[in-house]
Structure 1
């Protein structure tokens, strides 16, 4: 049986559980679900959180501006983030690998082919690729999107079956329901323009994307006939519950 391929994107708010440090419990929760599903699904992870990981250990001072400090924090935090993934996943019998990419890699045919071939080899040999943007040399993720666009471009390149974006809400809520204090999830939609009218432009406390960047990611995926699910990654079992239809989330069909 051919396994279905899921690209899971987890942002900083999910990995920190909206605190100021990376949650080992959340990473274990993700690993435990992947271990349960590995007979039927193969996973590629796009993970933010390097800067959040560094902030647990250091406070940098520099006159070079905020972007330079964030790039330095990413360089410090990325090895810590990978170590936490590796330690927690290894206890569950899962093997991890690190891939650092930049948006410019997706503009060159040779680079795209190399990315695809490398990740396919890793997955075929039961190593879970954990992808982040190479923040030390690129600033797009820091400034614009909390890896949502990177996740969508990778999903399209690898022709995955599902783009699963974990955030801190039960998907996208109707604007009216937010205004009356009783958030109601938009369950299934195909027309992304309709969702554009419902979303708030506010960005989350640790992440840099907000819902706008998730819709832009869904648009990239949709053009490649890939469904996008926006789920609440703060909840335990958020992957298995979504796959089993046991949670509220937004499904953007292709």
Structure 2
């Protein structure tokens, strides 16, 4: 594996009314190790702008204009923390804001690809987020799981790793069934599962397991794997992505 997209969700980066700085720090440490010890090119898709903005201004987040305003406040705050932490490893990070339409436009997607290659070739860590401020309902992906899946495909990554408040995909709801078992490998996703109601676990999150399944399905159809594990405790992510030891978490990969 040469190129990896890592997506981290709002539920991981938010703690109470503040940014979860410890988890953000742990994420940066992890990415630095992947780059230094595995020589990986890492693209980070980071949620958290709305949550970061809400630490400075309390608005009704059910209103899309309020969410856009909070994203405008929060995005530079988020980048400030990333920039400071990556600098401790003598690494530079860059901000890339995209909307769904950018991937549908040949010119825009080609421009983004060219810039991405320049950044990665110069050992910069690109940090992607959805451009909430200018996007309307039609242009929004609505969750960064979909954004990350498209980024992994369009920027030719070898794998997408989603670090979430969900530590893997289970054969039934683990919150309702104590006997639910995690599936370490998923080779096929039923259409019924893709049509389930979204169940985000955080008031700042827009996804849930359904958006992750949709991201996995998008990539599986294009012969790219996705790995889902916890972003709260990175032990399993270290085991698999750094040490090639798949102890936990789910790998979605088509057999076709």
TM-score, length-scaled by structure 1: 0.89
Secondary structure of the residue that 2:229 maps to in structure 1?
strand
The Cα shift of 1:79 comes to 0.4
| 1:65-104 correspondence runs (5 A) | 66-104=63-101
Q: Which runs of 5+ in 1 are unaligned?
A: none
Q: Please say if 1:15 is aligned against 2:13.
A: yes
In structure 1, what is the equivalent of residue 187 of structure 2?
Answer: 190
Shift in alpha-carbon separation, 1:151–1:8, aligned structure 2, 3 A: same
In structure 2, what is the equivalent of residue 250 of structure 1?
Answer: 250
Shift in alpha-carbon separation, 1:91–1:76, aligned structure 2, 3 A: same
In structure 2, what is the equivalent of residue 171 of structure 1?
Answer: 168
* Matching residue within 205, 223, 234 for 1:236: 234
TM-score, length-scaled by structure 2: 0.88
Q: Please say if 1:42 is aligned against 2:41.
A: yes
- Which has a greater percent of helix? 1
User: Residue 68 of structure 2 contacts residue 133 of structure 2 at CA under 8 Å; is this kept in 1?
Assistant: yes
The Cα shift of 1:186 comes to 1.0
Aligned residues: 249
User: Residue 46 of structure 2 contacts residue 144 of structure 2 at CA under 8 Å; is this kept in 1?
Assistant: yes
Secondary structure of the residue that 1:123 maps to in structure 2?
helix
Q: Could you report, residue by residue, the CA deviation over 1:177-210 in whole angstroms, capped at 9, with x for unpaired residues?
A: 543324421110110118928x774222131111
In structure 2, what is the equivalent of residue 221 of structure 1?
Answer: 219
User: Residue 96 of structure 2 contacts residue 127 of structure 2 at CA under 8 Å; is this kept in 1?
Assistant: yes
Shift in alpha-carbon separation, 1:72–1:10, aligned structure 2, 3 A: same
Shift in alpha-carbon separation, 1:6–1:140, aligned structure 2, 3 A: farther
Alpha-carbon distance between aligned partners in 1 of 2:49 and 2:43, rounded to the nearest angstrom: 17
Q: Could you report, residue by residue, the CA deviation over 1:52-92 in whole angstroms, capped at 9, with x for unpaired residues?
A: 00111112479xx7111110000011000100111111112
Answer with 240-249 or 79-88: which moved more.
Answer: 240-249
In structure 1, what is the equivalent of residue 56 of structure 2?
Answer: 57
Shift in alpha-carbon separation, 1:67–1:194, aligned structure 2, 3 A: closer
Shift in alpha-carbon separation, 1:182–1:131, aligned structure 2, 3 A: same
* Matching residue within 147, 150, 155 for 2:152: 155
Over the residues paired in the alignment, what is the CA RMSD in angstroms? 2.5
User: Residue 145 of structure 1 contacts residue 213 of structure 1 at CA under 8 Å; is this kept in 2?
Assistant: no
